[in-house]
């Protein structure tokens, strides 16, 4: 009996040790996962250099796994994505500024202390050629403050670029180079992009050279507020890996169309964790057109503050319907006040298009030229009516 008991005890002990080892390995694996994941005229499809023929995926091979390649797509679109180098003068602070004052200099040695020489800071980003005669779309923050801008083309030429115009609230800028017959990317319709669509991100991350990554559209209509409260954002979110240097590069659909300009990433470490944001092509098209024509962007203003219909401020106003956006404030002297809009009105449509999101409505107003008369469909006291309003002009906020 003693031998049998001893054998059973040994067996139980071995089982317990095996269970403890298994649990320990599981905990270490989870710990490793946590460490890895810490808390003009735009190009059209008929222009030279544009080829947006759909990609025909090869037939499935192997155990039901399709052999898919994006090589043909990349060879068509990548020549239009370029690298941008910028240089900014950084003036060193004076160490002894009081020596410029004669009243102080007479008390000290007349020899002037040498001042630190000016230094130049270099920036790196990406851009997209959108016309055959050299208009390039990129981010405002790629060229912000730059005194010199050069672009590296994919035919090994390096050319000087001039700034046509820049728009900090949308983080977009347009450059121009002196060249012709350039490869271009046609701007697609970003409103037709669906969550789950496959996309490619093309740029020059960390200066290693042109790089292509693949992912899907993870979400639409995102806001980050990184540019400040005066920014206009309607980002496409993607898990296609992006890093520093991808800014201003292309987000491309499988139809070879430019659907976004890569702008930001969300990352606690500064590297890609699969959350990137791109400015949709429809917003880029509107901003680019204004920058090319006028060198600046003019935005419409209705003169209201709106909140989501399901928000607490809307509930406090007695709104029970979740449709549209709710007018929480009407500015004195603005187009909304002149049109008779009131606090508590629910806006359900803008020029016949359904309104569901407060940020999207703000972007619709801003993208409409000042002085334009618009039609708003509203609900007031449970009754639907239409109101005509003339938009004012939104004054740009000074950069911080």
Distance CA 34, CA 30 (A): 6
CA angle 17, 21, 27 (to 5 degrees): 145
Q: How many CA atoms lie within 13 A of 6 on its CB side?
A: 3
Among residues 170, 218, 247, 256, the one annotated as catalytic is 247
Contact (Cβ atoms closer than 8 angstroms) between residue 255 and residue 186: no
Contact (Cβ atoms closer than 8 angstroms) between residue 150 and residue 104: no
Among residues 141, 152, 190, 278, the one annotated as catalytic is 141
Contact (Cβ atoms closer than 8 angstroms) between residue 270 and residue 263: no
171 has catalytic annotation: yes
Structure tokens at 100: 């410029």
Q: How many CA atoms lie within 13 A of 326 on its CB side?
A: 21
Among residues 85, 140, 170, 171, the one annotated as catalytic is 171
Contact (Cβ atoms closer than 8 angstroms) between residue 150 and residue 158: yes
- State the pairing for strand pair 304-308/235-238: unpaired
Distance CA 215, CA 129 (A): 22
C-alpha torsion sign, points 376, 377, 380, 384: positive
The 8 Å CB, 24+ separation contacts for 159-162 are 161/84, 161/136
Place of tokens 């954002």: 233
Q: Burial level of 357, CB count in 10 A (0-12/13-18/19+)?
A: middle
247 has catalytic annotation: yes
Residues belonging to the active site: 141, 171, 247
């Amino acid at each position: 009996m003693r031998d049998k008991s001893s054998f059973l005890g040994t067996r139980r002990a071995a089982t317990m040790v095996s269970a403890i080892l298994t649990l320990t390995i599981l905990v270490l694996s989870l710990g490793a996962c946590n460490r890895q994941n810490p808390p003009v005229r735009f190009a059209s499809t008929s222009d030279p250099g544009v080829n947006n023929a759909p990609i025909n995926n090869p037939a499935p091979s192997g155990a039901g796994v399709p052999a898919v390649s994006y090589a043909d797509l990349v060879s068509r679109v990548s020549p239009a994505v370029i690298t941008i180098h910028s240089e900014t003068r950084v003036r060193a602070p004076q160490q002894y500024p009081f020596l410029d004052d004669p009243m102080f200099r007479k008390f000290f040695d007349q020899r002037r202390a040498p001042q630190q020489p000016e230094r130049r800071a270099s920036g790196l980003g990406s851009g997209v050629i959108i016309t055959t005669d050299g208009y390039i779309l990129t981010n405002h923050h790629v060229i912000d403050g730059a005194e010199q801008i050069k672009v590296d083309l994919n035919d090994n030429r390096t050319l000087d670029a001039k700034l046509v115009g820049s728009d900090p609230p949308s983080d977009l800028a347009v450059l121009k180079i002196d060249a012709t017959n350039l490869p271009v990317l046609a701007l697609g319709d970003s409103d037709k992009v669906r969550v789950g669509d496959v996309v490619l991100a093309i740029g020059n991350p960390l200066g290693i050279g042109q790089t292509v990554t693949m992912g899907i559209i993870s979400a639409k209509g995102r806001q980050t507020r990184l540019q400040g409260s005066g920014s206009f954002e309607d980002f496409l979110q993607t898990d296609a890996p992006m890093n520093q240097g991808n800014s201003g590069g292309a987000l491309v659909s499988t139809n070879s169309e430019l659907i976004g300009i890569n702008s930001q990433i969300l990352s606690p470490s500064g590297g890609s964790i699969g959350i990137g944001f791109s400015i949709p092509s429809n917003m880029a098209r509107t901003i680019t057109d204004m920058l090319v024509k006028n060198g600046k962007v003019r935005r419409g203003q209705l003169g209201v503050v709106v909140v989501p219909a399901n928000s607490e401020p809307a509930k406090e106003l007695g709104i029970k319907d979740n449709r549209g956006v709710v007018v929480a404030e009407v500015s004195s002297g603005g187009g909304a006040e002149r049109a008779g809009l009131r606090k508590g009105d629910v806006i359900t449509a803008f020029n016949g298009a359904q309104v569901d999101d407060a940020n999207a409505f703000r972007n619709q107003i801003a993208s409409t030229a000042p002085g334009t008369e618009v039609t708003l469909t509203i609900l007031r006291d449970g009754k639907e009516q239409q109101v005509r309003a003339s938009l004012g002009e939104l004054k740009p906020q000074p950069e911080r």
